[in-house]
A and B are shown apart, each in its own frame.
Chain A
Amino acid sequence: MSTTDDLLTPAGRQEGPVRVALPRTWWQRHGSTTTVWSLRLALLVLLLGFWQLAADRWIDITFISKPSDIAERLGEWAADGTLWLHTWITVQEIVYGFALGAVTGALAGFVLASLSLVYRVLDPFVMALYSIPKVALAPLFIVWFGIEMHMKVLLAAATVFFLVFLNTAAGVRDVDRGLVDAVRLMGGNRWHIARKVVLPASMTGVLTGLKVAIPYALIGAVIGELVASNRGLGYLINDAAAQFDTAGVFATLVVLSVIAAVLNVVVGLLGKRVNRWKPIDE
């Protein structure tokens, strides 16, 4: 029995597959991730270098600014506190708006899609509301909610809501009948079906909704600030652009990208946790 050392399963039945420990080197574990990240970094450096070069030689920096100016501007703003003040405001608007839209969207999607008749009746109305460009709502929201922070939160939430709602509802309506019947056969009631089948089955839809909604949360918050505000990154863009300060505009855009990237990572981690059962593509 010399082979039992590397067998993880007791050798009960010989016809089944056998599981063995797979010793992997550091490079086998992390090699492809390392390669991808190094290449990403290289690409970024290349792009920035090219931008810098182009700004120095060929194109007027009033239009495209240049990386060194942008970095300098970020440094100044970080030092005098401008950056933190405005970023904090916008981050709050985005996070509250995203959370509000996501929670209400997922709940509404889950409940309404479970009530087949209600969903069929409401479907065209929902689509009509969804199709309204949310930017067009900004003036109306100012009238309703004023120009304080909740106007921006609600504007961000409005778009996030529909995206999460529609994806959740699609997930709920796509649930395999066979799985529902399996729970019925086990003596499960509607509550069991909702919790043990519909909820896990619709998680994929919820996550897709969250993922596609991230940029819209940013759009909602920033548009709100552009339209009416004296604080936040949207205001900062407006202010900088009014003074032809392209470096300032780009600096703000950099901050917005960082916020979006962080949100993406958070949702990505959530997705990994929830979709563990999905086959990993090799």
Chain B
Amino acid sequence: MTALLHTSGLTKRFAKDDVATVALRDFTLSIEEGSFVAVLGRSGCGKSTLLNLLAGLTEPSEGEVRYKDRPLSGPDTEIGYLTQSDTLMPWRGVQRNVEMPLEIRGVPSAERRRVAAGLIERVGLAGFEHHYPRELSGGMRRRASLARMLAADPATLLMDEPFGALDAQLRRELQEELLRLWAEGGQTVVFVTHDIEEALLLGDRVVVLGPIGTILLDRAVELPRPRSADALRVDPAFVALHTELAAALREGAR
């Protein structure tokens, strides 16, 4: 396996007047092609900042991001990014939102409609194709955003707390859907979450971030797949990992 995404000495500062907030300092990480990396960290430790850099949305203050061994200079359509906040176009209905990446790529409208309909069905929004984002619940908007990201069929998925706003049952379903997609398509996934259990359920590898993006723990998760949440809870290996991650997160708070 080769490193698909690689960051070296990545630093991001936000200047405001004469002071700069350092969100990320000297961050180095390699992500293998086809792996599922879960990123854990407390609020404000720089996770979203990191994903913005990995997506090419913002420029690092220092260091660089390399994608497929080339420096990343801007957004790349191979990289799909589900941002932490919703960015559905409020003046477009669900279907037209999901079609948007295809529209920009110049896909003919019949094909666009077909792909969008399939994805909308998959995220459980059938019947809401023509609803505007403001007419949907937070979780429904999240699912529409997910469908939109998948419409572009990206090889790399960056996801910032994608399932945070969903109820436990729906989250479970979408986690399974995501795993199925990943198993079939072999995408590379970077998945940011607050939830240790979710990280262990999904990830091949868990990276725990401390303040300004210090790596507190970087650990492979060798639990056998398919993983079921109910079976995992009583698995001693899972419990040990859970304890280890929780301890690392606690340490980061100090």
B134 at interface, CB cutoff 8 A: yes
Which chain A residues border B137 with CB–CB below 8 Å?
A: 17
Q: Which residues of B contact A184 (CB under 8 A)?
A: 57, 74-75
- Over the window 60-86 of chain A, the binary record of Cβ atoms lying under 8 Å from chain B Cβ atoms (1 yes, 0 no) is 000000000000000000000000000
Cross-chain contact A196 with B57 (CB below 8 angstroms): no
Interchain CB contact under 8 A, A178 and B83? yes
Nearest-neighbour CB distance to chain B for A188, whole angstroms, equals: 5
Whether, in the assembled complex, B237 has its beta carbon less than 8 Å from a beta carbon of chain A, the answer is no
Would A179 and B87 be within 8 Å (CB), given that A187-B77, A277-B132 are in contact? yes
Q: Which range contains the number of A residues in contact with the other chain?
A: 20 to 34
B87 partner residues in chain A, CB cutoff 8 A = 176, 178-179, 181-182
Are the CB atoms of A185 and B81 closer together than 8 Å? yes
Scan residues 183-202 of chain A and give those whose CB is less than 8 A from a CB of chain B. 183-188, 192, 196-197, 200-201
Contact, CB under 8 Å: A15 / B77 = no
Q: Which residue of A lies closest to B124 (CB)?
A: A13
B2 at the interface (CB under 8 A from A): no
Complex CA distance for A178 and B55, rounded to whole angstroms: 13
- Given A184-B57, A184-B74, A188-B104, check contact A8 B85 (CB 8 Å): no
The interface residues of chain B lying within 8 Å CB-to-CB of A187 are: 75-77, 101, 104-105
Say yes or no: A15-B126 contact (C-beta < 8 A), given A178-B85, A186-B152. no
Question: Bound state CA distance, A122 and B135, in angstroms?
Answer: 40
A40 at the interface (CB under 8 A from B): no
Report chain B residues within 8 Å CB of A8. Answer: 127
| Chain A residues within an 8 Å CB radius of B57 | 181, 184-185
Tell whether, in the assembled complex, residue A181 and residue B152 are in contact, meaning their CB atoms are under 8 Å apart: no
Chain A interface main SS type: loop
Interface positions, chain A 150-191, Cβ under 8 Å from B, are 176, 178-179, 181-188
Residues of chain A contacted by B167 (CB below 8 angstroms): 15
Chain A residues lying within 8 Å of B100, measured Cβ to Cβ, are 183, 186, 196
CA A12 to CA B167, docked complex, whole Å: 18
Residue B164 lies at the interface, judged by CB distance under 8 Å to chain A: no
Smallest Cβ distance from A7 to chain B, in angstroms? 9
How far, in angstroms, from A244 to B100 measured CA to CA in the complex?
65
B89 near A: Cβ within 8 Å?
Answer: yes
A188 CB contacts on chain B under 8 angstroms: 104
List residues of chain A with CB under 8 Å of any chain B CB: 8-10, 12-13, 15-17, 19, 176, 178-179, 181-188, 192, 196-197, 200-201, 277-279
Q: List 21 A-B contacts (CB under 8 A).
A: A9-B127, A12-B127, A16-B124, A16-B125, A16-B140, A182-B89, A183-B100, A183-B104, A184-B57, A184-B75, A185-B55, A185-B57, A185-B81, A186-B77, A186-B100, A188-B104, A196-B100, A196-B103, A200-B91, A277-B92, A277-B132
Residues of chain B whose beta carbon lies under 8 Å from any beta carbon of chain A: 55, 57, 74-77, 79-81, 83, 85-87, 89-92, 100-101, 103-105, 121, 124-128, 132, 134-135, 137, 140, 152, 167, 169-170
